[in-house]
Amino acid sequence: MENKTTIRPLNGYLLVAKESVSTESGIIVSGGTNDGRAEVIAVGEPITIDYNTGSKMYSPVKEGDKVIIKLGTGQIVEKSENSTMLIGFHDVIAIIN
């Protein structure tokens, strides 16, 4: 029987896959490019930012969104053709339409 690990981001975090690209000669550069492009795979629950008022910070993105994230951020959880990473809501700097 095969064990399959499921990663579910906690409050305030996103699971993203950095996009891989190929060079002109067809070589695949794993883990994405230096421009921080990624696709959102899973979204954690909102963060409570004020326990007195119950104010919450919700994710600025949803599953499937293409985003640009801050460079040098996040925790790699799976190294493959598309590196999978956990990042904070605040690490998303743009949504790609």
Q: What does the pLDDT look like over 32-91, one tens digit per residue?
A: 455 799 999 999 999 999 999 999 999 999 999 999 999 888 898 877 767 899 999 999
pLDDT reported for residue 52? 96
pLDDT reported for residue 19? 75
pLDDT reported for residue 83? 85
Half-sphere exposure of residue 52, counting CA atoms within 13 Å on the CB side? Answer: 0
DSSP secondary structure string, 5-72?
------TTEEEEEEPPEE-TTS-EETT--TT-EEEEEEEPPPEEEETTTTEEE--S--TT-EEEE-TT
Q: What does the pLDDT look like over 2-30, one tens digit per residue?
A: 666 789 999 999 999 987 666 677 666 65
* Domain boundaries of the chain, sorted by first residue: 13-89
pLDDT reported for residue 27? 66
> Is the dihedral angle over the CA atoms 63, 46, 83, 73 positive or is it negative?
positive
